[in-house]
A = this chain, B = another copy of it.
Amino acid sequence: MLQIATGDPRPIFRQIVDGIAMKIATGVLEPGARLPSVRALAMQLTVNANTVAKAYAELTAQGMIESRKGVGVFVSTPRQTLSDIERNRRLESALERFLADIISLGFSPEEIHERVEDALGRLRENHPSRRKD
């Protein structure tokens, strides 16, 4: 279900964070849903358990999941943790980074537009009415 790509420039734990965050954001994983245990996911991805634990820790810090010792890890109900200023700051910096990453690949703005629209379209499908809180 989750995929780790060795060619990907992102570190492993980051790929895990991104992958799970995406699943939660698109509603594939709903609030209350249980995630695979640290050890189970580590085994499945054939990475070290600490690496998965680190990814889970980051998602926990971001308020996207909650863990209960001896029980498991669960998707938490979404809330707005960041200030509006900070949200915008992060959007801007992510956008800047994204453009910096791809600009030297020689894609034209039109091509980039197309690909982003595709991706957003895929998001919208599984994501018909985003909760506001």
Q: Which residues of A contact B (CB under 8 A)?
A: 5-11, 14, 17-19, 21-22, 24-26, 58, 61-64, 66, 68-70, 76, 78-87, 89-91, 93-109, 112-113, 115-117, 119-120, 123-124, 127, 130-132
Contacts of A80 in B (CB 8 A): 83, 85-86, 106
Contacts of A7 in B (CB 8 A): 66, 76, 89
Q: Top 4 closest A-B pairs, CB basis? A: A18-B100, A25-B103, A98-B98, A21-B104
Q: Could you tell me if A112 and B101 are in contact, using CB atoms closer than 8 angstroms?
A: no
Contacts of A131 in B (CB 8 A): 106, 108
Number of copies: 4
> In the complex, which residue of chain B has the Cβ closest to the Cβ of A25?
B103
Contacts of A102 in B (CB 8 A): 90-91, 94-95
Contacts of A108 in B (CB 8 A): 127, 130-132
Contact of A104 among B62, B83, B104 (CB under 8 A): B62
